[in-house]
Structure 1
Amino acid sequence: MGSTEGISHTGFHAGSSPAKNDSRAAAQVARRRVRAMSATLYPTLPHREPVAAPAARLALKTDGASRGLLDGAWWPRSRDLLSELPALTDVLDSLWGRVTRIAVNPEHWPVLPREIPVSGHVVKVGWFTSEIDPHKLLLLSYGTGRWDLLVVPPETGAESAARLMAAASDHDGPPLTASALIAADAARYAVSRTDQALDPDEAWEYEGGAPAVSVAANRQTGPPGPASRLIIGM
Protein backbone atom coordinates (compact mmCIF):
# COMPACT_ATOMS: atom_id res chain seq x y z
CA MET A 1 0.00 0.00 0.00
CA GLY A 2 2.80 2.31 0.91
CA SER A 3 4.56 1.61 -2.36
CA THR A 4 1.43 2.41 -4.31
CA GLU A 5 1.09 5.75 -2.60
CA GLY A 6 4.75 6.46 -3.31
CA ILE A 7 4.33 5.84 -7.04
CA SER A 8 1.24 7.98 -7.32
CA HIS A 9 2.87 10.77 -5.32
CA THR A 10 6.00 10.69 -7.45
CA GLY A 11 4.00 10.56 -10.63
CA PHE A 12 1.95 13.54 -9.57
CA HIS A 13 4.94 15.73 -8.93
CA ALA A 14 6.80 14.58 -12.05
CA GLY A 15 3.79 15.14 -14.29
CA SER A 16 4.05 11.65 -15.73
CA SER A 17 0.60 10.27 -15.09
CA PRO A 18 -0.85 8.26 -18.00
CA ALA A 19 -3.67 10.78 -18.47
CA LYS A 20 -1.24 13.70 -18.79
CA ASN A 21 1.01 11.76 -21.13
CA ASP A 22 -1.93 11.03 -23.41
CA SER A 23 -3.00 14.67 -23.36
CA ARG A 24 0.51 15.86 -24.14
CA ALA A 25 0.87 13.41 -27.04
CA ALA A 26 -2.48 14.46 -28.44
CA ALA A 27 -1.47 18.11 -28.23
CA GLN A 28 1.77 17.42 -30.12
CA VAL A 29 -0.11 15.60 -32.88
CA ALA A 30 -2.54 18.52 -33.14
CA ARG A 31 0.32 21.04 -33.42
CA ARG A 32 1.96 19.00 -36.19
CA ARG A 33 -1.31 18.96 -38.09
CA VAL A 34 -1.64 22.73 -37.76
CA ARG A 35 1.90 23.23 -39.07
CA ALA A 36 1.24 20.91 -41.99
CA MET A 37 -1.95 22.76 -42.86
CA SER A 38 -0.18 26.13 -42.60
CA ALA A 39 2.52 24.95 -45.02
CA THR A 40 -0.08 24.28 -47.69
CA LEU A 41 -1.62 27.72 -47.23
CA TYR A 42 1.64 29.57 -48.05
CA PRO A 43 3.24 27.96 -51.11
CA THR A 44 6.78 28.93 -52.09
CA LEU A 45 6.86 31.88 -54.48
CA PRO A 46 8.42 31.20 -57.90
CA HIS A 47 12.04 32.29 -58.31
CA ARG A 48 12.40 35.38 -60.49
CA GLU A 49 15.22 35.46 -62.98
CA PRO A 50 17.32 38.66 -62.91
CA VAL A 51 16.38 41.20 -65.56
CA ALA A 52 19.18 41.91 -68.02
CA ALA A 53 20.35 45.53 -68.15
CA PRO A 54 19.66 47.40 -71.42
CA ALA A 55 22.50 47.47 -73.91
CA ALA A 56 24.71 50.53 -73.94
CA ARG A 57 23.78 53.08 -76.60
CA LEU A 58 26.94 53.80 -78.60
CA ALA A 59 28.19 55.14 -81.90
CA LEU A 60 31.87 54.36 -82.55
CA LYS A 61 34.34 55.07 -85.29
CA THR A 62 35.49 51.93 -87.06
CA ASP A 63 38.63 53.41 -88.62
CA GLY A 64 42.01 52.18 -87.51
CA ALA A 65 43.39 55.68 -87.04
CA SER A 66 41.18 58.09 -85.14
CA ARG A 67 40.63 61.56 -86.55
CA GLY A 68 39.23 64.53 -84.70
CA LEU A 69 38.91 64.93 -80.96
CA LEU A 70 36.44 62.11 -80.32
CA ASP A 71 36.29 58.39 -81.00
CA GLY A 72 32.52 58.18 -80.77
CA ALA A 73 29.62 58.91 -78.46
CA TRP A 74 27.86 57.27 -75.53
CA TRP A 75 24.26 57.99 -74.55
CA PRO A 76 23.76 56.72 -70.97
CA ARG A 77 20.30 56.35 -69.47
CA SER A 78 21.19 58.06 -66.18
CA ARG A 79 23.94 59.89 -64.30
CA ASP A 80 24.60 56.84 -62.14
CA LEU A 81 28.08 55.84 -63.24
CA LEU A 82 28.06 52.76 -61.01
CA SER A 83 25.08 51.27 -62.85
CA GLU A 84 25.83 52.62 -66.36
CA LEU A 85 29.48 51.67 -66.80
CA PRO A 86 29.13 47.84 -66.77
CA ALA A 87 26.93 47.87 -69.90
CA LEU A 88 29.47 50.13 -71.62
CA THR A 89 32.48 47.96 -70.79
CA ASP A 90 30.58 44.83 -71.87
CA VAL A 91 30.75 46.25 -75.38
CA LEU A 92 34.11 47.99 -75.36
CA ASP A 93 36.12 45.21 -73.71
CA SER A 94 35.54 42.97 -76.71
CA LEU A 95 36.07 45.73 -79.29
CA TRP A 96 38.95 47.75 -77.90
CA GLY A 97 40.49 45.60 -75.21
CA ARG A 98 39.74 45.45 -71.50
CA VAL A 99 38.98 48.92 -70.11
CA THR A 100 40.99 49.33 -66.91
CA ARG A 101 40.57 53.02 -66.07
CA ILE A 102 38.20 55.87 -66.86
CA ALA A 103 38.37 59.58 -66.13
CA VAL A 104 35.56 62.12 -66.08
CA ASN A 105 34.80 65.66 -65.09
CA PRO A 106 32.66 65.54 -61.90
CA GLU A 107 30.38 68.37 -63.07
CA HIS A 108 27.70 66.03 -64.42
CA TRP A 109 28.35 62.94 -62.28
CA PRO A 110 26.91 63.34 -58.75
CA VAL A 111 28.66 60.22 -57.36
CA LEU A 112 32.16 59.12 -58.33
CA PRO A 113 33.25 55.82 -56.79
CA ARG A 114 36.96 55.00 -56.79
CA GLU A 115 36.32 51.64 -58.43
CA ILE A 116 33.43 50.13 -60.37
CA PRO A 117 32.96 46.36 -60.62
CA VAL A 118 32.14 45.25 -64.16
CA SER A 119 32.01 41.86 -65.85
CA GLY A 120 35.11 39.94 -64.81
CA HIS A 121 37.19 42.82 -63.46
CA VAL A 122 37.22 46.23 -61.80
CA VAL A 123 37.58 49.65 -63.47
CA LYS A 124 39.36 52.40 -61.56
CA VAL A 125 37.80 55.87 -61.73
CA GLY A 126 39.62 59.20 -61.81
CA TRP A 127 38.28 62.72 -62.12
CA PHE A 128 39.63 66.09 -63.24
CA THR A 129 37.88 69.45 -63.15
CA SER A 130 39.92 71.34 -65.76
CA GLU A 131 41.72 68.73 -67.86
CA ILE A 132 38.62 66.88 -69.05
CA ASP A 133 35.61 68.31 -70.90
CA PRO A 134 32.43 68.00 -68.75
CA HIS A 135 30.71 66.15 -71.60
CA LYS A 136 33.49 63.64 -72.29
CA LEU A 137 34.46 60.23 -70.95
CA LEU A 138 38.10 59.18 -71.21
CA LEU A 139 38.78 55.45 -71.29
CA LEU A 140 42.11 53.65 -70.92
CA SER A 141 42.88 50.04 -71.81
CA TYR A 142 46.12 48.64 -70.40
CA GLY A 143 48.57 48.07 -73.20
CA THR A 144 46.03 48.95 -75.89
CA GLY A 145 45.28 52.64 -75.94
CA ARG A 146 43.06 55.56 -75.02
CA TRP A 147 39.65 56.59 -76.32
CA ASP A 148 37.52 59.68 -75.87
CA LEU A 149 33.73 59.51 -76.03
CA LEU A 150 31.18 62.28 -76.16
CA VAL A 151 28.70 61.72 -73.32
CA VAL A 152 25.27 62.67 -74.63
CA PRO A 153 23.24 63.92 -71.63
CA PRO A 154 20.74 61.21 -70.57
CA GLU A 155 17.80 63.60 -70.81
CA THR A 156 18.57 64.48 -74.45
CA GLY A 157 15.77 63.81 -76.92
CA ALA A 158 16.21 60.98 -79.39
CA GLU A 159 16.55 63.22 -82.46
CA SER A 160 19.27 65.38 -80.92
CA ALA A 161 21.04 62.33 -79.53
CA ALA A 162 21.08 60.69 -82.96
CA ARG A 163 22.62 63.81 -84.54
CA LEU A 164 25.26 64.15 -81.83
CA MET A 165 26.23 60.49 -81.98
CA ALA A 166 26.52 60.61 -85.76
CA ALA A 167 28.69 63.73 -85.63
CA ALA A 168 30.98 62.37 -82.91
CA SER A 169 31.55 59.09 -84.77
CA ASP A 170 32.08 60.66 -88.19
CA HIS A 171 35.25 59.55 -89.96
CA ASP A 172 36.74 63.04 -90.29
CA GLY A 173 35.83 64.65 -87.03
CA PRO A 174 34.33 66.96 -86.14
CA PRO A 175 37.22 69.11 -84.88
CA LEU A 176 35.13 70.21 -81.89
CA THR A 177 35.28 69.45 -78.21
CA ALA A 178 32.41 67.50 -76.69
CA SER A 179 30.83 70.58 -75.09
CA ALA A 180 31.25 72.63 -78.28
CA LEU A 181 29.55 69.90 -80.29
CA ILE A 182 26.55 69.86 -77.96
CA ALA A 183 26.34 73.66 -77.98
CA ALA A 184 26.59 73.81 -81.78
CA ASP A 185 23.79 71.28 -82.22
CA ALA A 186 21.52 73.16 -79.81
CA ALA A 187 22.21 76.48 -81.56
CA ARG A 188 21.70 75.09 -85.06
CA TYR A 189 18.44 73.29 -84.40
CA ALA A 190 17.15 75.54 -81.62
CA VAL A 191 15.46 72.64 -79.85
CA SER A 192 15.17 71.68 -76.24
CA ARG A 193 16.97 68.67 -74.90
CA THR A 194 13.80 66.65 -74.87
CA ASP A 195 12.87 67.47 -78.51
CA GLN A 196 9.45 66.33 -79.61
CA ALA A 197 7.73 63.19 -78.47
CA LEU A 198 8.41 60.18 -80.68
CA ASP A 199 5.73 57.86 -81.98
CA PRO A 200 5.65 54.38 -80.39
CA ASP A 201 7.70 52.72 -83.13
CA GLU A 202 10.46 55.32 -82.93
CA ALA A 203 10.50 55.23 -79.14
CA TRP A 204 10.80 51.44 -79.23
CA GLU A 205 13.81 51.61 -81.52
CA TYR A 206 15.64 54.28 -79.55
CA GLU A 207 15.06 52.41 -76.27
CA GLY A 208 16.74 49.29 -77.55
CA GLY A 209 13.96 47.49 -79.39
CA ALA A 210 15.89 47.60 -82.65
CA PRO A 211 18.68 45.06 -83.28
CA ALA A 212 21.44 45.50 -80.71
CA VAL A 213 24.19 46.14 -83.26
CA SER A 214 23.98 47.80 -86.63
CA VAL A 215 26.47 49.43 -88.97
CA ALA A 216 25.90 52.69 -90.80
CA ALA A 217 27.68 52.91 -94.16
CA ASN A 218 29.30 55.99 -95.59
CA ARG A 219 26.92 58.19 -97.55
CA GLN A 220 28.04 58.15 -101.15
CA THR A 221 26.66 57.81 -104.64
CA GLY A 222 29.31 55.40 -105.93
CA PRO A 223 29.96 51.76 -105.04
CA PRO A 224 29.55 50.82 -101.38
CA GLY A 225 32.59 51.52 -99.27
CA PRO A 226 33.71 50.38 -95.84
CA ALA A 227 31.46 51.08 -92.86
CA SER A 228 32.29 54.35 -91.15
CA ARG A 229 30.70 53.81 -87.76
CA LEU A 230 29.40 51.11 -85.50
CA ILE A 231 26.05 51.81 -83.84
CA ILE A 232 25.13 49.72 -80.80
CA GLY A 233 22.01 49.55 -78.65
CA MET A 234 19.88 51.87 -80.80
Structure 2
Amino acid sequence: MTAVRAARDEVRLQLKPAAGGGYVDGAWWPRSRDGGVEFSELLAAVRDRVGEVERISYPLGDGWEIAHRKLVVEGRLVRLEGFHAMQADTLALIGTQQRRLILLVVAPGTARDAATAALRTAADPATTASGEDILAARGGPHARATGYPNPRFRAPRSGRGRHVPDLGDPGSPAPAVRPGR
Protein backbone atom coordinates (compact mmCIF):
# COMPACT_ATOMS: atom_id res chain seq x y z
CA MET A 1 0.00 0.00 0.00
CA THR A 2 1.29 3.46 -0.85
CA ALA A 3 0.60 6.49 1.31
CA VAL A 4 0.53 9.73 -0.66
CA ARG A 5 -0.34 13.21 0.50
CA ALA A 6 -2.60 14.95 -2.01
CA ALA A 7 -0.90 17.92 -3.64
CA ARG A 8 -2.79 21.17 -4.14
CA ASP A 9 -1.45 21.91 -7.60
CA GLU A 10 -3.62 22.86 -10.53
CA VAL A 11 -5.31 19.79 -11.97
CA ARG A 12 -5.95 19.82 -15.71
CA LEU A 13 -9.56 18.70 -15.59
CA GLN A 14 -12.81 19.73 -17.24
CA LEU A 15 -16.21 18.27 -16.38
CA LYS A 16 -19.61 18.47 -18.01
CA PRO A 17 -21.98 20.72 -16.03
CA ALA A 18 -23.95 17.67 -14.84
CA ALA A 19 -23.35 13.95 -15.00
CA GLY A 20 -25.33 12.12 -17.61
CA GLY A 21 -25.20 12.32 -21.39
CA GLY A 22 -22.50 10.74 -23.47
CA TYR A 23 -19.74 8.26 -22.83
CA VAL A 24 -17.66 10.43 -20.52
CA ASP A 25 -18.42 13.02 -17.85
CA GLY A 26 -15.35 15.08 -18.70
CA ALA A 27 -11.63 14.76 -19.32
CA TRP A 28 -8.40 14.84 -17.34
CA TRP A 29 -4.89 15.52 -18.58
CA PRO A 30 -2.41 14.11 -16.04
CA ARG A 31 1.24 15.16 -16.04
CA SER A 32 2.56 11.57 -15.82
CA ARG A 33 1.42 7.93 -15.66
CA ASP A 34 2.40 7.64 -11.97
CA GLY A 35 -0.92 6.54 -10.50
CA GLY A 36 0.07 7.26 -6.89
CA VAL A 37 0.81 10.92 -7.54
CA GLU A 38 -1.69 11.68 -10.29
CA PHE A 39 -4.71 9.92 -8.76
CA SER A 40 -4.12 11.69 -5.44
CA GLU A 41 -4.27 15.10 -7.10
CA LEU A 42 -7.33 14.14 -9.15
CA LEU A 43 -9.33 12.98 -6.12
CA ALA A 44 -9.06 16.37 -4.45
CA ALA A 45 -10.32 18.06 -7.63
CA VAL A 46 -13.44 15.86 -8.03
CA ARG A 47 -14.51 15.73 -4.37
CA ASP A 48 -17.31 18.30 -4.85
CA ARG A 49 -18.77 16.26 -7.72
CA VAL A 50 -18.37 12.66 -6.51
CA GLY A 51 -17.73 13.00 -2.80
CA GLU A 52 -15.01 10.90 -1.22
CA VAL A 53 -13.76 8.43 -3.84
CA GLU A 54 -13.39 4.88 -2.58
CA ARG A 55 -12.45 3.16 -5.84
CA ILE A 56 -10.66 4.01 -9.08
CA SER A 57 -11.04 1.64 -12.03
CA TYR A 58 -8.58 1.91 -14.89
CA PRO A 59 -7.93 -0.10 -18.07
CA LEU A 60 -5.00 -2.49 -17.88
CA GLY A 61 -2.57 -1.83 -20.70
CA ASP A 62 -2.96 1.96 -20.62
CA GLY A 63 0.51 2.41 -19.14
CA TRP A 64 -0.43 3.41 -15.60
CA GLU A 65 2.38 2.85 -13.12
CA ILE A 66 0.53 1.28 -10.22
CA ALA A 67 2.77 -0.03 -7.44
CA HIS A 68 -0.04 -1.19 -5.15
CA ARG A 69 -3.75 -1.92 -5.37
CA LYS A 70 -4.51 0.45 -2.51
CA LEU A 71 -3.71 4.11 -2.09
CA VAL A 72 -4.03 6.26 1.03
CA VAL A 73 -4.96 9.86 0.24
CA GLU A 74 -5.40 12.30 3.12
CA GLY A 75 -5.98 9.39 5.49
CA ARG A 76 -8.60 7.65 3.32
CA LEU A 77 -8.15 4.27 1.66
CA VAL A 78 -8.82 4.16 -2.10
CA ARG A 79 -8.90 0.84 -3.97
CA LEU A 80 -7.28 0.72 -7.42
CA GLU A 81 -8.71 -1.83 -9.84
CA GLY A 82 -7.40 -2.59 -13.32
CA PHE A 83 -9.60 -4.27 -15.93
CA HIS A 84 -8.89 -5.69 -19.39
CA ALA A 85 -12.55 -5.18 -20.36
CA MET A 86 -12.55 -1.43 -19.80
CA GLN A 87 -12.51 1.23 -22.50
CA ALA A 88 -8.98 2.51 -23.16
CA ASP A 89 -8.15 6.07 -22.11
CA THR A 90 -10.76 6.22 -19.35
CA LEU A 91 -10.97 6.14 -15.57
CA ALA A 92 -14.02 5.36 -13.46
CA LEU A 93 -14.13 7.08 -10.08
CA ILE A 94 -16.66 5.64 -7.64
CA GLY A 95 -17.59 7.59 -4.53
CA THR A 96 -18.77 6.37 -1.14
CA GLN A 97 -22.40 7.13 -2.05
CA GLN A 98 -22.03 5.13 -5.31
CA ARG A 99 -21.79 8.33 -7.33
CA ARG A 100 -19.53 7.71 -10.28
CA LEU A 101 -17.59 9.79 -12.72
CA ILE A 102 -16.18 8.47 -16.01
CA LEU A 103 -13.28 10.52 -17.31
CA LEU A 104 -11.47 10.53 -20.62
CA VAL A 105 -7.73 10.45 -19.90
CA VAL A 106 -5.66 12.56 -22.28
CA ALA A 107 -2.14 11.07 -22.42
CA PRO A 108 0.48 13.09 -20.50
CA GLY A 109 2.68 13.65 -23.56
CA THR A 110 -0.12 15.02 -25.74
CA ALA A 111 0.55 18.37 -27.43
CA ARG A 112 -1.10 21.26 -25.58
CA ASP A 113 -3.43 22.23 -28.46
CA ALA A 114 -4.72 18.67 -28.92
CA ALA A 115 -5.06 18.11 -25.16
CA THR A 116 -6.92 21.37 -24.65
CA ALA A 117 -9.29 20.56 -27.50
CA ALA A 118 -9.96 17.08 -26.07
CA LEU A 119 -10.64 18.52 -22.59
CA ARG A 120 -13.10 21.05 -23.98
CA THR A 121 -14.84 18.52 -26.22
CA ALA A 122 -15.27 15.91 -23.48
CA ALA A 123 -16.71 18.56 -21.13
CA ASP A 124 -19.21 19.86 -23.69
CA PRO A 125 -22.73 18.70 -22.71
CA ALA A 126 -23.54 18.07 -26.39
CA THR A 127 -20.72 15.53 -26.77
CA THR A 128 -21.92 11.93 -27.00
CA ALA A 129 -18.76 10.51 -28.61
CA SER A 130 -16.57 7.88 -26.98
CA GLY A 131 -13.23 8.88 -25.52
CA GLU A 132 -11.44 7.20 -28.42
CA ASP A 133 -13.52 9.18 -30.93
CA ILE A 134 -12.85 12.44 -29.09
CA LEU A 135 -9.10 11.83 -29.09
CA ALA A 136 -9.10 10.83 -32.75
CA ALA A 137 -11.14 13.91 -33.76
CA ARG A 138 -8.90 16.25 -31.78
CA GLY A 139 -5.58 14.82 -32.92
CA GLY A 140 -4.56 13.33 -29.59
CA PRO A 141 -2.98 9.92 -29.14
CA HIS A 142 -4.80 7.18 -27.31
CA ALA A 143 -3.20 4.51 -25.16
CA ARG A 144 -4.42 1.49 -27.09
CA ALA A 145 -7.40 0.09 -28.92
CA THR A 146 -9.34 -2.53 -27.03
CA GLY A 147 -11.53 -5.27 -28.37
CA TYR A 148 -13.46 -5.38 -25.09
CA PRO A 149 -15.37 -2.14 -24.61
CA ASN A 150 -17.21 -1.79 -21.34
CA PRO A 151 -21.00 -2.13 -21.89
CA ARG A 152 -21.49 1.28 -20.22
CA PHE A 153 -19.78 2.84 -23.23
CA ARG A 154 -22.12 1.55 -25.95
CA ALA A 155 -23.48 3.95 -28.53
CA PRO A 156 -26.85 5.54 -27.79
CA ARG A 157 -29.86 3.56 -29.09
CA SER A 158 -31.64 6.67 -30.32
CA GLY A 159 -30.31 6.15 -33.84
CA ARG A 160 -28.30 9.34 -33.68
CA GLY A 161 -24.61 9.24 -34.44
CA ARG A 162 -21.98 10.19 -31.95
CA HIS A 163 -21.59 13.93 -31.76
CA VAL A 164 -18.24 15.68 -31.41
CA PRO A 165 -19.07 19.40 -31.37
CA ASP A 166 -16.88 21.96 -33.11
CA LEU A 167 -15.55 24.07 -30.27
CA GLY A 168 -13.60 26.49 -32.38
CA ASP A 169 -9.88 27.14 -32.05
CA PRO A 170 -8.19 24.21 -30.29
CA GLY A 171 -5.37 26.59 -29.32
CA SER A 172 -7.48 28.55 -26.85
CA PRO A 173 -6.64 27.46 -23.32
CA ALA A 174 -9.03 25.35 -21.31
CA PRO A 175 -9.69 26.62 -17.81
CA ALA A 176 -8.39 24.34 -15.10
CA VAL A 177 -10.35 23.16 -12.11
CA ARG A 178 -8.58 23.75 -8.83
CA PRO A 179 -9.10 21.37 -5.92
CA GLY A 180 -11.82 22.43 -3.52
CA ARG A 181 -13.65 24.64 -5.98
- TM (norm. structure 1) is 0.55
CA distance in 2, matches of 1:73, 1:86: 16
Pairwise CA distance, 1:86:
0.9
Q: Deviations over 1:165-215 (max 9, x none)?
A: 010000122x221122112222xxxx889xxxxxxxxxxxxxxxxxxxxxx
Pairwise CA distance, 1:54:
2.5
Structure 1 residue 149 corresponds to structure 2 residue 103: yes
Q: Deviations over 1:59-101 (max 9, x none)?
A: 01122x5211110000000000011111111111233211110
Query: Which runs of 5 or more structure 1 residues have no equivalent in the other structure?
Result: 1-51, 194-218, 220-228
Bigger Rg over Cα: 1
Aligned positions, number: 142
CA distance in 1, matches of 2:50, 2:135: 25
Pairwise CA distance, 1:145:
1.2
2:40 to 80, 86, 89: 86
Pairwise CA distance, 1:119:
1.8
Structure 1 residue 127 corresponds to structure 2 residue 82: yes
Q: Deviations over 1:8-62 (max 9, x none)?
A: xxxxxxxxxxxxxxxxxxxxxxxxxxxxxxxxxxxxxxxxxxxx55322100112
Structure 1 residue 179 corresponds to structure 2 residue 132: yes
Contact preservation (8 Å) 2:135, 2:141? no
Q: Which aligned runs of 4 or more in structure 1 are off by greater than 6 angstroms?
A: none
CA distance in 2, matches of 1:93, 1:70: 17
Contact preservation (8 Å) 1:90, 1:119? no
- Greater helix proportion: 1
Query: Which runs of 5 or more structure 2 residues have no equivalent in the other structure?
Result: 1-6, 143-166, 168-173
- TM (norm. structure 2) is 0.70
Pairwise CA distance, 1:105:
0.6
Counting only pairs closer than 5 Å after superposition, residues 32-71 of structure 1 correspond to structure 2 as: 54-63=9-18, 65-71=19-25
Report 1 or 2 for greater relative contact order, CA contacts < 8 Å, sequence distance ≥ 6: 2
